[in-house]
Amino acid sequence: MFDVNIEYFHLGGTYGQATGKVRPFVVGTIGATYMDPKGAGLNPETKFSLSLGGGVKFYLSEHVGIRIDARWFGTFIGGSGSVFCSEGKCLINVQGDVLSQFSANAGVILAF
């Protein structure tokens, strides 16, 4: 067993309803995951990753609310791919493993 530090470097966005007391939203990002294992003979690596998630904002008043969300982070490890084209049609094959992590958050909204 060993420790590993994982850092995500992502760009993305949030899309959701801008009015009302209950405001659902979805979020997506794309980027890279830096993994730095703390064991003898293990080296750090950076891999392609993305995240998908969603949540909801509950506004108790115009300026105060509660936010709840959850997100999946997927880091692609040891992948390979190929493309075969014939007569104007192409077949794309992608294989690999995905390291999955999940997070859930809740917090207070103070809007000014």
> pLDDT tens digit string along 25-43?
999 999 999 999 998 888 9
Q: What is the DSSP letter of 60?
A: S
What pLDDT does residue 50 have?
Answer: 94
Helix (H) or strand (E) holding 41: none
> pLDDT tens digit string along 49-69?
999 999 999 999 999 999 999
Confidence of residue 92 (pLDDT cuts 50, 70, 90): confident
Residue from 49, 40, 39 nearest 4 by CA:
39
pTM over 0.95: no
What pLDDT does residue 79 have?
Answer: 75
The 10 Å Cβ neighbour count of residue 53 is: 20
What pLDDT does residue 109 have?
Answer: 96
Query: How confident is the model over 91-106, as a mean pLDDT?
Result: 90
Report the percentage of the chain scoring pLDDT > 90. 66
Query: How confident is the model over 5-33, as a mean pLDDT?
Result: 94
